[in-house]
Amino acid sequence: MSKRSILLGNEAIARGIVEAGCEIATAYPGTPSSEILPAVAAYSDQLGTKTAVEWGANEKVAYEMAVSASFGGKRTCCIMKQVGLNVAADPFMSTAHFDLKGGFLLVVSDDPGPHSSQTEQDSRYFAMFAKVPCFDPSTAEEAKEMVFDAYDLSEKHGIVTMLRPTGKVDHARQDVPLRDEVLPPRKDEFKKDPKRWVCLPAGVKVNHPRLNDKNDAIRNEFEEDYGKYNYVVPAKGTVRLGIIAGGTTFAFLSDMIRTSGRDDIEILKIGTPVPLPVKLCDEFIARHEKVLVLEQTYPVIETQLNDRTKIMGRWNGFVPRAGELLPELIEGIIAECLGDKVETSIDEDVRSAMEEMHVTPRPPMLCPGCPHRASFFAIRKALPKAINPSDIGCYTLGIMQKGVDSAIDMGAAVTAASGFYLASKVDGEERPVVATIGDSTFFHSGLTGLASAVYNRHAFVLAILDNRITAMTGGQSSPNVGTKLRKGDQGVQIDLEQVCRGCGVSYIKTVEAYDVNENVDVVKDAWAYAWENKEPAVLIFKHPCITILKEPPTPRPVRVDPEVCIGCKYCITSFNCPGLVFDESSKKAYIDERYCVNCGVCMSVCPHGAIVSREEA
């Protein structure tokens, strides 16, 4: 290693993947993992490798492509966020039993907190469930180094290995070493062997005991040979407390001890929590009167310990069972364990900083000029009593326009619409159902729900909000867009209307999302067709994302006429644009020029005609 560079954690992981000789990399975007695959493509271009880099339509697709490519001996990887592993759980559990040939690395980024996820689940439990080894990095540099060890371990034991960074590792920046050379590629030598590559039930009798043997062997290796990830940080003074910590909690704890000058805490750092090096933990616990276990998010280390009588953790309430273990929280937990008093001023510090910067807290909302806002407004205006299931993505923020009544997981807008329709049908009542889903999410897992709805004759309107990009996770491509990541690669753009027709949908219309007045009538017409014919109707609300695609709207500057505005706040509560605000002193709405992008859509909103073109003034 001769060079170093300051990289984002996700870039460091990507660099490690390319340097380690990975030749097939797949993913589905999801915060906090989204930057890894584009960085794999960039480093592959930079280092001149032949690495195939592709987005899958969803995580199951991405996983199955990557793991199958390893059957012949190639090093491959698949990348996703924690809820994505729920989608890929089926092939993950199956292939955990396989005796792989090439190295296969699964990168799953967890989101303690959570900051951008519908769950706070801990993927280390999935590793325990599948009985595959897991590496839990504390820093970006460690995450990059773990990529190499995970590949070596995978090839040595023929097993899937998991790298599980959390958001703080993914999005931290650190000076990391760069290798001069990429490890050489492996030849693809796939040999037909149904007993090895077909998950027949009869094979489980052989595969499961073999998987148990692999786990025992790997646990022994984690005890003896992985001292760079599992080690003791001794106290400089008289020890009052022993702490077992892993992942980002180890990093937070180390920083806190260094800055506070504490010399009374000894730490056992665990970087390989599954399977846990239990002997190492037992020896550490035996040396201390009190031992605190700090890990995110579930008690994975704590659960695997042989004896918890000395342990202070989640099982006896010393550590909260939900939420991110931030430094100020860790400080309070340690104080409670030692019976000390601690005073933290973090809330006061944050409040003072916000006052100084003149920051006013407000709930998340769609961006100014977002086409989804106009779509939600038209849908709500057309059918105000409709039930509106929605999905995971930017459009979940339509909840601020009362346009989202349910959101379960990716693709559930379509299947929930079927469920709401069936509930009304059983009661013999007509209740409109208008579901909303994004274009990328529709390809992720909305397709199967639509095919089921057509087959079963479910009456609802499916509104596909097509903004030409996967916006919530940072602007990745999808089958609807067709672009690819490596230079010179050209994908095929799949037409949404043709896909819906292929699923058997008869009523399909594509509309301009900004055209609110026209779309109100289109939504009413679509529901009338769906109810009369007892089948789904599809509307595609099309307009590019102006924030990520940088396609500003045709300027249509507006103003609020104070002589006409009656102060009803309808534009605020129903349209919910950051560019529209209410002046409590004058009791009138006005345009906040700091946020307004001059899309002019709000002229369709005010029922009294108070929002008018500035050119008409």
Model confidence pLDDT, tens digit, residues 39-71: 999 999 999 999 999 999 999 999 999 999 999
Question: Which range among 172-186, 473-487, 599-613 shows the weakest confidence by mean pLDDT?
Answer: 473-487
Quick check: 340 pLDDT over 80?
yes
**CA end-to-end distance (rounded Å), the chain:** 66
Quick check: 345 pLDDT over 60?
no
In 48-133, where does DSSP find H-type helix?
59-69, 82-87, 89-96, 123-130
Quick check: 342 pLDDT over 80?
no
Higher pLDDT, 200 or 515: 515
pLDDT at 432: 98
Quick check: 347 pLDDT over 80?
no
Quick check: 359 pLDDT over 60?
yes
**Whose CA is closest to 24, among 60, 54, 45?**
54
pLDDT at 499: 97
pLDDT at 474: 84
> Given pLDDT bands bounded at 50, 70 and 90, which one contains residue 2?
low
pLDDT at 311: 95
Asked whether 484 and 490 are in contact (CB, 8 A), the reply is yes
Bridge partners (DSSP) listed for residue 466: 542
> Distances in Å between the alpha carbon of 86 and those of 99, 100, 108, 121, 478?
23, 22, 11, 10, 20
The pLDDT of 286-309, averaged and rounded, is 95
Report the percent of the chain where pLDDT is more than 70: 97
Provide the Cα torsion 407, 300, 12, 219; round to 10°: -140
Question: Which range among 228-232, 285-289, 343-347, 542-546 shows the weakest confidence by mean pLDDT?
Answer: 343-347
Asked whether 200 and 115 are in contact (CB, 8 A), the reply is no
Backbone phi and psi for residue 318, each to the nearest 5 degrees, phi listed first: -75, -30
Task: Determine the Cα–Cα distance for residues 386 and 380; give it in Å rounded to an integer.
Answer: 8
| Two tokens, residue 120 | 């706070």
Higher pLDDT, 349 or 585: 585
| Two tokens, residue 37 | 């695959």
**Whose CA is closest to 280, among 272, 419, 528?**
272
pLDDT at 617: 52
> Given pLDDT bands bounded at 50, 70 and 90, which one contains residue 328?
confident
> Given pLDDT bands bounded at 50, 70 and 90, which one contains residue 363?
confident
- Left, alpha or beta for 87 (phi > 0: left; psi -120 to 50: alpha)? alpha
Quick check: 1 pLDDT over 60?
no
Quick check: 602 pLDDT over 60?
yes
Q: Are strands 611-613 and 558-560 parallel, antiparallel or unpaired?
A: antiparallel
Quick check: 458 pLDDT over 80?
yes
pLDDT at 615: 75
Task: Determine the Cα–Cα distance for residues 301 and 308; give it in Å rounded to an integer.
Answer: 11
pLDDT at 150: 98
Question: Which range among 221-225, 546-550, 579-583, 606-610 shows the weakest confidence by mean pLDDT?
Answer: 546-550
pLDDT at 492: 94
**Whose CA is closest to 386, among 528, 240, 228?**
528
Higher pLDDT, 469 or 240: 240
pLDDT at 553: 84
> Given pLDDT bands bounded at 50, 70 and 90, which one contains residue 616?
low
Quick check: 343 pLDDT over 70?
no
pTM score: 0.92
The pLDDT of 176-187, averaged and rounded, is 94
The pLDDT of 420-430, averaged and rounded, is 95
Model confidence pLDDT, tens digit, residues 92-101: 999 999 999 9
Q: Where are the beta strands (DSSP E) in 456-556?
A: 461-466, 507-512, 537-542
Quote the mean pLDDT of the chain.
94
Provide the Cα torsion 583, 588, 591, 593; round to 10°: -30
Question: Which range among 55-59, 301-305, 465-469, 475-479 shows the weakest confidence by mean pLDDT?
Answer: 475-479
Model confidence pLDDT, tens digit, residues 534-565: 999 999 999 999 888 777 888 999 999 999 99
The pLDDT of 383-397, averaged and rounded, is 94
| Two tokens, residue 33 | 């993992």
pLDDT at 469: 86
